Amino acid sequence: MGSDSVVQVPNAVSNHLTAGLLKYFHTTGRYASGINLFEKLRAQNVEVASLLSRVLFMGNEEVQGIRILHDALKQSPMDYVMLDTQAEFLLKKAENALTPDQKDERLQMALGCADRSTIAAPSEFGTWARLAEVYVAMEDWENALTTLNSCPMFTYQDKDSPVMPEPRDILLPTLPETRLDEIDSEPESRYSEQVDPSLLNLRAAAYRGTFKHAYSILTEMTAKIGWDQLLKIRSNVFVMEDEYREKQDSSNYPKNRNASTDALRGTPDPTTNGGPSEAGDEEEKEDVAEDAEKETEEKENDEEKEVGEDEKGEPVGQTLAPNGGAENIERPSSAVDPDLVKKGDDSVSHFAAPKCIHH
């Protein structure tokens, strides 16, 4: 943990003050003063054991630092700061391992601590970033990308500092013996000329906080396996938004389909009501055919009942009633029997004129 560490939710052991103290002890080498300070604070709060162990690691007191972490984790087994401290220590020891088997063993232990720290603090960026670093050291690129994508990113907030007005003039007095002609005479534009112009406007220069840390992990992966291999692994792990949209559009509307073919051939897509498609099961098609036959038979039976005969054997006349049903109409006495008309009898060819009633 240094002065540039990412502090998302400050607590008793993870804040800018503790980060500055650790940076101070690391720079000055006053490890005894740091051990004395954090030893007193640990008596009041067990979480300070993570800070004490870090100072012990700086002073090459690794055995004592591991013992303090071990005893503290017995009291607070899900303290994510102590778990992250263990994972960081094991990751550094794995980098300096003498044999590949020893490296794998230490990385497996670091993986267990880092994974548990993400469970203890799933909303912290530092725990997920540590887990991604462990996967990078294990050369498990797919899990490294997945973990890096799971890191909870947040907007960088600068440290509190007083706002000073812009100075009118700047005067930085220097002693004559500190001036070097080889350095002071160099123009500032000399260094920018040595850099390719395409690299001067990279976004990484403006990244800060979690975005800067995540970019450094991604850069380390690119340096180890190359950009082309990283893109290939990315395509196996993720589906980009543009690729997903293209896949959805191609599945919903085929390229060889247009309005003319739809009008001639009909739509090839299944109905929205869940009807069977052309590639449906044969059983489903047979069930639909049987249902259609049953409906046809029922309709025919209903028509036969409507055009039936009455009890006397005479045909029943049928007409439309106001409610759509059929009514029996009484036949007048002068009407001709339909059976006689079918037989072609001549006796019914002439109709008797109706009698007129005169007053």
pLDDT in tens, 92-104: 999 988 999 999 9
Residue 279 has pLDDT above 50, yes or no: no
pLDDT score, position 349: 45
pLDDT digits (tens, 9 = 90+) for 66-84: 999 999 999 999 999 999 9
The mean per-residue pLDDT over the stretch 125-130 comes to: 93
The mean per-residue pLDDT over the stretch 44-63 comes to: 92
Domain 100-157+206-257 indexed as CATH 3.10.20:
no
Give the 3-state DSSP-derived string for the chain, with helices as H, strands as E and coil as C: CCCCCCCCCCCCCCCHHHHHHHHHHHHHCCHHHHHHHHHHHHCCCHHHHHHHHHHHHHCCCHHHHHHHHHHHHHHCCCCHHHHHHHHHHHHHHHHCCCCHHHHHHHHHHHHHHHHHHHHHCCCCHHHHHHHHHHHHHCCCHHHHHHHHHHCCCCCCCCCCCCCCCCCCCCCCCCCHHHCCHHHHCCCCHHHHHCCCHHHHCCHHHHCCCHHHHHHHHHHHHHHHHCHHHHHHHHHHHCCCHHHHHHHHHHHHCCCCCCHHHHHHHCCCCCCCCCCCCCCCCHHHHHHHHHHHHHHHHHHHHHHHHHCCECCCCCECCCCCCCCCCCCCCCCCCCCCCHHHHHHCCHHHCCCCCCCCCCC
Residue 83 sits at φ, ψ, to 5 deg, of -65, -40
This prediction has a pTM of 0.58
333 vs 301, more confident? 301
Average pLDDT value for the chain: 75
The mean per-residue pLDDT over the stretch 121-141 comes to: 93
Residue 329 has pLDDT above 60, yes or no: no
User: 267: which 2 tokens?
Assistant: 């739509």
pLDDT score, position 301: 67
pLDDT score, position 139: 93
When pLDDT is cut at 50, 70 and 90, the band that residue 40 belongs to is very high
Query: Could you state, in order of their start, the residue ranges of all structural domains in the chain?
Result: 1-77, 100-157+206-257
Q: Distance between alpha carbon 179 and the CA centroid of its chain, in Å?
A: 57
pLDDT digits (tens, 9 = 90+) for 190-215: 445 566 777 777 777 778 888 888 99
When pLDDT is cut at 50, 70 and 90, the band that residue 110 belongs to is very high
Residue 189 has pLDDT above 70, yes or no: no
Q: Please tell me the distance from the alpha carbon of residue 68 to that of residue 50, in angstroms, as a whole number.
A: 8
121 vs 188, more confident? 121
30 vs 250, more confident? 30
Q: Residue holding tokens 């899900």? A: 78
When pLDDT is cut at 50, 70 and 90, the band that residue 342 belongs to is low
Q: Which amino acid is at 305?
A: K
Residue 2 has pLDDT above 60, yes or no: no
pLDDT digits (tens, 9 = 90+) for 216-256: 999 999 999 999 999 999 888 887 777 778 877 777 655 55
290 vs 265, more confident? 290
Residue 315 sits at φ, ψ, to 5 deg, of -65, 145
